Structure 1
Amino acid sequence: MAAFPFYEQQEKTAIFRLVEKYRRSVGLSKVQLVKRIGYANVNKGLRNYEEFLDGDFEQPFIVDNLCVALVIDPKIIDRAIAHAKRKITIENLTDSMHEAQNWARTFRIHAIINTELDCPSPIFAEAMFDIAQLKIIYLDSSRYAASYIQQAIRELPNRLGAGGHIPAFGNPVSVTINIAPEMAIKYDLLGKEIARSNWAERLPHATMIY
């Protein structure tokens, strides 16, 4: 998980305030604390400690030893972590809801080329070049609906690389026409209907973390 040094955080988390309060109360520097936690490599300890304060709670070594190092009742840390996780979950759900609402508001009828690979190989290719956009074909919605799949099939060859596949995703296997946010139809490459869905298909998006 990407983390920023806790001394640069714009908004201190409850975990940050709690742990730093106890650290100062026992008179430990950050270096002394990570040594007491059990890190022989101080730089690694400081980095993991900062990531923990920034919300990376999947570090059992820190979680298990922090209470001993700071002489804190483990229940206090457990409650603080549980509260922080709930807050993060709510924030993520809120962000997802807003993103979905924005996507529905700006929706355009389009096709998605389904390929052998759902995730690109190599994975960084999508994050760096957003090549998944090759799998999206925007359609002429002024034409009748029955023409959508034919529009997509005609455009398909223009999306293929020299080897006849979508770069990093492999060969096309089917096409999904997203008619509305709540309606999608999947076809084979000959234009025969395969299945219908009450939800439009969406492509995942990878992001590089530096």
Structure 2
Amino acid sequence: MTPLKRLIDTRVRDLGITRGELARRLGYANVAKALRRTELLCETGAGPTHLMARLPAALDVDPLTVKQAMEATFEHLRQQHEQAVAEELAAWRAAFKPHAIILTERRIPSPISICAFAGGNRFIWIDLDASRPRATFIRQAILELAHRRAALGRSNIPFFGAPIGFIVNLTPDRAIRYDLDGRAVALLPEAYRPGLVTGFVRRRPIPTSLLYR
């Protein structure tokens, strides 16, 4: 529960009013619409300007109280985001296995929404056989890229365009970039991670893997 939601719930209870009455105090005739917008404001800190302007009078509190609750909500959301990022990174490092990423002319797939439903990054991700020597990783990546292009009957990677090279991620903290012929181009200080596509249903994130299934 964010600080703003806690403030609203507390004031509704203290004033002895219903959610419908709160909606009317906020100037809405449509109660469901008012509740949706208020919930969105509480969860994300985003909402119509007029809603924020009417909250102090609707809750019978001074504007400073609402402002402080909003600032605390932004801080709460920032901390949640940082924690989620840290947890995701820790899980990624723990599950890391050597792999390759095909580099293409487009870093952002197009159309991005269809790409998400089709499985997103599976088109540019190459699993490597880590039981074999590292010296074979380059050859593995080149052969797999050639196999995919032959299977597709075209040179372009779906949604991403023409390949321009690939990166072999050896560890979370070491990667090497190669051109299409397998010549080393650059040594990278960390593994290359392509962007992620996330869908939302009623503002709840849905992982790409679930969209694909």
Scaled by the length of structure 1, the TM-score of the pair is: 0.82
Aligned match of 2:210: none
Equivalent residues in 2 for 1:1-210, closer than 5 Å: 12-39=1-28, 41-53=30-42, 55-59=43-47, 60-160=49-149, 161-210=152-201
- RMSD of Structure 2 on Structure 1 (CA): 2.2
Aligned to 2:175, the other structure's residue is in SS state strand
1:197 partner letter: L
Aligned to 1:169, the other structure's residue is in SS state coil
Q: CA deviation at 1:117?
A: 2.2
Residue pair 2:98, 2:171 contacting (<8 A) in 1 also: yes
Aligned match of 1:5: none
Alpha-carbon separation, structure 2, partners of 1:102 and 1:208:
21
Alpha-carbon separation, structure 1, partners of 2:63 and 2:103:
49
Q: CA deviation at 1:41?
A: 4.6
Alpha-carbon separation, structure 2, partners of 1:122 and 1:133:
15
Alpha-carbon separation, structure 1, partners of 2:153 and 2:59:
61
* Count of residues in Structure 1 that have an aligned counterpart in Structure 2: 198
Q: CA deviation at 1:80?
A: 1.7
Deviations 1:39-94 (A, max 9, x none): 455433221112223x1212133222212322322221222222222222222222
Aligned to 2:44, the other structure's residue is in SS state coil
2:157 partner letter: I
> CA distance change for structure 1 residues 33 and 178 in 2, over 3 Å: closer, same or farther?
same
Deviations 1:118-177 (A, max 9, x none): 222222234323231121112223444333222211110333434422212222122011
Unaligned stretches of 5+ residues in structure 1: 1-11
Unaligned stretches of 5+ residues in structure 2: 202-213
Residue pair 2:165, 2:178 contacting (<8 A) in 1 also: yes
Task: Report runs of 4+ in structure 1 exceeding 6 Å deviation.
Answer: none
Alpha-carbon separation, structure 2, partners of 1:67 and 1:197:
52
Percent identity between the aligned chains?
33
Aligned to 2:199, the other structure's residue is in SS state coil
Residue pair 1:128, 1:208 contacting (<8 A) in 2 also: no
Scaled by the length of structure 2, the TM-score of the pair is: 0.81
Alpha-carbon separation, structure 1, partners of 2:80 and 2:128:
34
Residue pair 1:179, 1:200 contacting (<8 A) in 2 also: yes
Q: CA deviation at 1:112?
A: 0.2
Residue pair 1:114, 1:175 contacting (<8 A) in 2 also: yes
